[in-house]
């Protein structure tokens, strides 16, 4: 039964996708819709192949920015959460500003960053801003959600704060940390795209988001759809890789991963 469910989980989304693409192709052909209005899936695929040298180069730029922003958010978020856990006064003092940073629209910050920072640095900072808070909040939640009975046991046996952090709090918080990283992976891509659009508006850019804006200005709608397709696939791959890492780390001991194998 489990194998049938796994097959169904793979086949059903593929069937829905195939039906949607077939309907899209049918509507475009029957109504003779021009490519500059709505390209068919076939046209988009042909454009993806013909424009691959340009699009692949832009994809590499966007993925590099996403990776840099994600690494900065992961390291900074986990490190600051560890500091917060060791000093509640620092958490009370700084956490509200992390919330403010999260709720401020990055599209409003990007033009200012492009004025005060080099372009590539500003784009990376935008990706970091969007991805930072989920890592910080999830890690903080995980470190603060340790079983009080286990914490009392560690205290009873005279464990130091470093030992308690290493052997109790970090293992207990690991599912929360990995959950925050899964969210941050997609958000870092969103932040990179927003910053690239702002950079393209300022007159410079080379990422996929810049290609989308450029295609819109030139009414090259098939290339716009092809770039959008690459962005979607990139986001799916990023989430899938992070989900796989989370499963491999947790599969032997945590209920969230054990349940998937039973």
Examine the pLDDT at 10 and tell me if it is beyond 80: no
Q: How far apart are CA 262 and CA 260, in angstroms?
A: 6
The predicted-structure confidence for 201-221, as pLDDT tens digits, reads as follows 544 567 888 888 888 888 889
Name the pTM for this structure.
0.85
Q: What pLDDT sits at residue 204?
A: 54
71-121 residue pLDDT tens: 999 999 999 999 998 888 988 898 899 888 888 888 888 888 888 888 888
The string of pLDDT tens digits covering residues 167-213 is 888 888 889 999 999 999 999 999 888 888 877 654 456 788 888 88
CA dist 201 and 209 (Å) reads 11
pLDDT score of 162: 84
Helix segments in the chain, DSSP class H: 2-30, 41-50, 52-86, 88-103, 106-116, 119-144, 148-156, 161-164, 170-201, 208-217, 221-250, 255-261
């Amino acid at each position: 039964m489990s194998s049938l469910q796994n097959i169904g989980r793979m086949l059903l989304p593929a069937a829905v996708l195939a039906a949607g693409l077939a309907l899209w192709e049918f509507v475009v052909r029957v109504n003779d819709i021009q490519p500059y209005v709505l390209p068919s899936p076939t046209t988009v695929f042909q454009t993806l192949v013909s424009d691959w040298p340009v699009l692949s180069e832009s994809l590499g730029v966007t993925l590099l920015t996403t990776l840099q922003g994600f690494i900065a958010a992961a390291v900074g978020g986990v490190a600051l959460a560890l500091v917060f856990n060791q000093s509640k006064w620092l958490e009370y003092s700084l956490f509200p500003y992390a919330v403010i940073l999260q709720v401020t629209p990055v599209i409003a910050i990007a033009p200012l960053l492009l004025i005060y920072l080099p372009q590539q640095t500003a784009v990376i900072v935008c990706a970091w801003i969007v991805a930072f808070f989920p890592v910080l909040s999830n890690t903080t939640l995980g470190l603060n959600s340790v079983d009080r009975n286990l914490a009392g046991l560690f205290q009873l046996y005279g464990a130091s704060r470093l030992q308690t952090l290493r052997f109790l709090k970090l293992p207990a918080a690991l599912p929360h940390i990995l959950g925050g990283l899964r969210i941050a992976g997609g958000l870092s891509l969103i932040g990179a795209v927003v910053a690239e659009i702002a950079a393209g508006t300022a007159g410079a850019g080379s990422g996929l988001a810049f290609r989308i804006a450029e295609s819109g200005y030139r009414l090259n709608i098939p290339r716009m759809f092809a770039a959008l397709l690459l962005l979607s696939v990139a986001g799916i791959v990023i989430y899938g890789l992070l989900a796989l890492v989370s499963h491999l780390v947790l599969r032997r001991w945590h209920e969230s991963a054990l349940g998937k194998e039973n």
